[in-house]
Amino acid sequence: MQPSVKASAHQPHTESRSSLLRALGVEPYLEFRYSEQVGDLPIHCEVFEHDKEAPLLLFVPGISTYAALYSALLYHLNQRGSNVVGVDLRGHGHSGGARGDYTPEQVCADLRLVIDHFAPRFTGPVALYGYSIGAPLSLAAAENDARISALLCHTLFVSEYAPDLLHLWGWHWLRHLSFFLPHLHLPLQRLFHLQDLIPERRFHKLIAEDPLRVNAYPLSTLASVLNRRSKIMHETCSFQAAIVSGENDELVPFRYLGRLVTKSVHPLELIGIPEGNHMIPFWEPERLANIAAEWLLNHC
């Protein structure tokens, strides 16, 4: 039975949202998409349609954000041959659910529902593209849905192999603390400094005022993602996979990704973007789309 299509459970404050979209330069690309809400929660999707037999590419956004902010990237991926569906995670953007509250298992179920909804319309192979924290979530989905034939992770981390001892200690600390205080919210500023990723100060106020962003996460959410055990570190899977990353990424060191590729039992290709940083989907979306689309269309 096909999931129902419903109106979004959230009514955004469009003035603040439009200001951020305008500052990012993505407003013109919104004209090329339509939106749908899938399921009872619902899950909000931004759809850039190509043609019926082209690949179905689901895009999973990074922490705090939602699909519309990536419209330039999604448009350019669409123009290079895919039906692109940007997915607002539950509790994010226009999707329903408590703000910032999810587990990888819930995200896997939501993405299965989205594929169920769009697969009859777009009959090509199914691929996932996960950015930042969307990468381990997309990995979880690919490991648990045989319909997914290709996975592109924009950076990646796995619990079995932390970047360093500080990260390992922090992940274990979150797991134990979340057992006692699962609903305690941790502000994003405790995880990373926005100023380090976005030097231009004109964006800081717009981001802070965006009502669709998630500014703090329950410990249970962070612990469930950071401590999830993956299959690729222990066995080969049915999908083809690659990691794409800026070689100057500030959050996930490129050298760590190189070591991760050698540790993984499942084959992983590593694609480096010279001089690229963590925010390249926003600052150089067309450059990134060229790199991502070439790999995706060759492996779907």
Q: What is the CATH number of the domain that holds 182?
A: 3.40.50.1820
In a domain, 197, yes or no: yes
Q: What is the pLDDT of residue 5?
A: 34
Q: Per mean pLDDT, which range of 52-56, 202-206, 218-222 is the poorest?
A: 202-206
pLDDT tens-digit series, residues 254-270: 999 999 999 999 999 99
12 prior amide bond cis, ω within 30: no
Q: Which pLDDT value is given to residue 17?
A: 64
Q: Who wins on pLDDT, 251 or 199?
A: 251
Q: What does the pLDDT average to over 136-143?
A: 98
2 has pLDDT over 90: no
Categorize the per-residue pLDDT at 137 as very low, low, confident or very high, splitting at 50, 70 and 90.
very high
pLDDT per residue as tens digits for the range 75-90: 999 999 999 999 999 9
Query: Which residues, at least 6 apart from 191, have a Cβ–Cβ distance to it below 8 Å?
Result: 63, 222
Q: What domain count does the chain have?
A: 1
Mean pLDDT throughout 61-83?
97
Domain that holds residue 238: 14-299
Asked whether residue 12 carries a pLDDT value surpassing 60, the answer given is no
H-state helical runs in 57-129:
71-79, 104-118
In a domain, 220, yes or no: yes
Instruction: Decide: 87 and 117 in contact? Cβ < 8 Å.
Output: no
Does residue 215 lie within any of the structural domains? Answer: yes
Q: Does residue 69 fall inside a structural domain?
A: yes
> What number of helices (H) and strands (E) belong to the chain?
11, 10
pLDDT computed for residue 200 by the predictor? 80
Judge whether 68 and 25 are in contact, CB under 8 Å: no
> 3-class SS at 157?
coil
Span 115-135, mean pLDDT?
A: 97
pLDDT at 18: 74
Number of other residues whose CB lies within 10 A of the CB of residue 146: 11
Q: Is 1's pLDDT higher than 50?
A: no
Q: Could you give the CA distance from residue 245 to residue 278 in angstroms, rounded to a whole number?
A: 8
Is there a domain that residue 263 lies in? Answer: yes
1 part of a folded domain: no
In a domain, residue 280? The reply is yes
Judge whether 4 lies within some domain. no
pLDDT of residue 254: 97
DSSP state of 167: H
CB-CB neighbours of 210 under 10 Å: 23
| Amino acid code (one letter) for 205 | K
Alpha carbon separation from 128 to 12, 256, 272 (Å, rounded): 27, 22, 19
